[in-house]
Structure 1
Amino acid sequence: MQFVSITTPENIEVKFRLAGVGSRVVAAFIDYLIQGVVYLIFILALAGMNDPIEYFEGKNSYFLAIVLLIIVCVNYGYFIISEMVMNGRTLGKKALGLRTIRKNGQPMDIKHSLIRNLFRIFVDNYLVGILMIFFRGDDARLGDILASTMVIEEEKKELYDYFDDLSEDIKNKLTEDEKQLLITYINEKDEVSIDKEVLQQKIVDYFTSKYNDVDEEILSIVKK
C-alpha cells in the first residue's frame, strides 16, 4: 500500500492512499462491462429492425457517421462525462471506492479528463497502461503522467457524515476542496509527523480567517 503526501495551498500536508493495480483493473473491467452492455443494446436495436440492411442501403455515409459517433461517445465520452459528473469517479471506480484527482490534490477539470482518457483509448488500452502501473513506483499509466493525475482510494465513510454538527450556513460555504482537506486530516492525523495541536490550530486559523467566527465549529471537526 502506497501513500503520497501533498502540501495544499494552505500549507497543510495531507496524505492520499494510491489505488493499487488490482483495484484499478477491477474498476476498469466494470467500466468496460458497462460499455459492452451499451454496445449490446445498440446491436439488439439494429437486430430488432425488420430489415436493417435494406433500411441503411443508400445511406451508408449516415450509418457510418452514426456508428462512429456511438463508438466515440461510449469509448471516450463515458469516462469524461462520468469523471465530470461524479467528481473523478466512473461507475467502476465508485464501486471500488476509487477516485481520480490531480497530483496537487485538487479535483480534476475537463482538461485533465480529456488528456488522460485520450491516451487511455489510443495507448493504455493496449496493455501499456497495466504494464506501466506494474513497473512504476507511483502506479501511474501514461494518461495519468501526461494529465498530471493520480488514482486514490477514498475513505469508506461518506463525505458529509463528518459535517453533521456544522450549521447549514457553514456547510454551504465550504468548498469541496476544503471538505476533502478536513476529511483527509481526520483520517490521516495519527500519521502526521508534526504536533497535532499545531496542525489543528493551523486549520482552524485558515477557516476562521476566510469565513469569520467558525473557529468553534471547525474545531469540533478537527478534534473528531
Structure 2
Amino acid sequence: MAIYINTNQNVQINFEISSIGDRLLAYLIDALVIGGIAIGVLFIGAATEFALGMFLMFIPIFFYHLICELFMNGQSVGKRSRGIRVMKKDGNPASFSSYFLRFLLRPIDSFYGLGLAVIFFTNNNQRLGDLAAGTVVVNIKSEDDLKQQIRQEMNINPHEGIKYPEVAQLTEKDIEIIRTILHNRVESKEHHVVHELAKKIAEKINVEYDKDWAYYFLQRLVQDNYKTHMEE
C-alpha cells in the first residue's frame, strides 16, 4: 500500500504506508519511553514537593506525542526507531494544527482500541486522528535517499552548477509542461513541438539557447529548477 506524491520539482515520489505492525511497535516503544520519563520524574518529585513532582510528571507524559511530533518532524522516539513518520496526505509536512488534532483525538482512538479498529477499515491505515487531520503515517527514506531518487530519475549531476538561473521565473505549471513534452518526445527530440516550446520558454525568461539542441535546453531547465529548489 502506497501513496504517490508530486514534489515541487514535479517528480513523483512513492511513500509506502506504514504497516499496522510498525505502528503498534512504535506505540509500545513510546509507552516504554513514557514509563521511563515517569519513573525519572518521580525521583525528582521525591526530592521536591509531591505536588510539584506530579505536575512535572504530567506535562511530559500527557503532551509526549504532541511535543515529539512538533520537534521531531512528525516522529516520536518509537516512530523514529521504526522508520515511520506523520505527514500530510499531499506530501507536505504536517502543520501544528494537524499534530494538535491528532493529539486531541488520541484519547478517543485509545478508547477500547477504537483507533486500531478504524485503521483496519481505512485504505491508508489511518486512525480517527489521521482522518480528522488529513495525515498519514508513512515509511520514510533519508533525505539523501530521496534526493538520490530524484537525481536518478532526472539524470542530474549533483556536482554541476545551475546554468540558467533565470529558470526561477518559471512557474510550476511551466515546468510540468516542459517535463510532459520531454517525456512524450524522448524518442523524437527534433519534433516541432519541442522547438516551439523551447523558443517560447527562452523568450519568456530572456535567454539564448542553441536551437539545434532544443530538447537538451528544456531538459537543462528542468534540472536547474530542481537545483534551485533542492540544492540551495
TM-score interval, smaller chain: 0.5 to 0.7
User: Equivalents in 1 of 2:124, 2:43: separation in Å?
Assistant: 42
Q: Deviations over 1:69-109 (max 9, x none)?
A: 64243222x22222222211111111001011101100112
Aligned residue number for residue 99 of structure 1:
85
8 Å Cα contact 2:65/2:103 also seen in 1: yes
Q: Deviations over 1:123-176 (max 9, x none)?
A: 112211111112222200000011110000113xx423656x735998xxxxxx
Among 145, 161, 166, the residue aligned to 2:158: 166
Pairing of 1:11-160 with structure 2 (within 5 A): 11-47=10-46, 49=47, 63=51, 67-68=54-55, 70-76=57-63, 78-120=64-106, 122-126=107-111, 127-155=113-141, 158-160=142-144
Segments of structure 1 that go 5 or more residues without pairing to the other structure are 57-62, 171-194, 218-224
Q: Structure 1 residue 12: deviation in Å? A: 4.0
User: Equivalents in 2 of 1:82, 1:94: separation in Å?
Assistant: 10
Flag the structure with more relative contact order, 1 or 2, with Cα contacts below 8 A and sequence separation at least 6. Answer: 1
Q: Which has the larger radius of gyration?
A: 2
Of all paired residues, the percent bearing the same amino acid is: 27
8 Å Cα contact 1:35/1:75 also seen in 2: no
Aligned residues between the structures? 173
CA distance 1:93–1:146, shift in 2 (3 Å): same
User: Equivalents in 1 of 2:61, 2:220: separation in Å?
Assistant: 45
User: Equivalents in 1 of 2:122, 2:77: separation in Å?
Assistant: 25
CA distance 1:138–1:210, shift in 2 (3 Å): closer
Structure 2 residue matching 1:123: 3-state secondary structure = helix
* CA-based RMSD: 3.6
8 Å Cα contact 2:42/2:57 also seen in 1: no
8 Å Cα contact 2:6/2:13 also seen in 1: yes
User: Equivalents in 2 of 1:168, 1:28: separation in Å?
Assistant: 44
Structure 1-normalised TM-score?
A: 0.63
User: Equivalents in 2 of 1:74, 1:203: separation in Å?
Assistant: 52
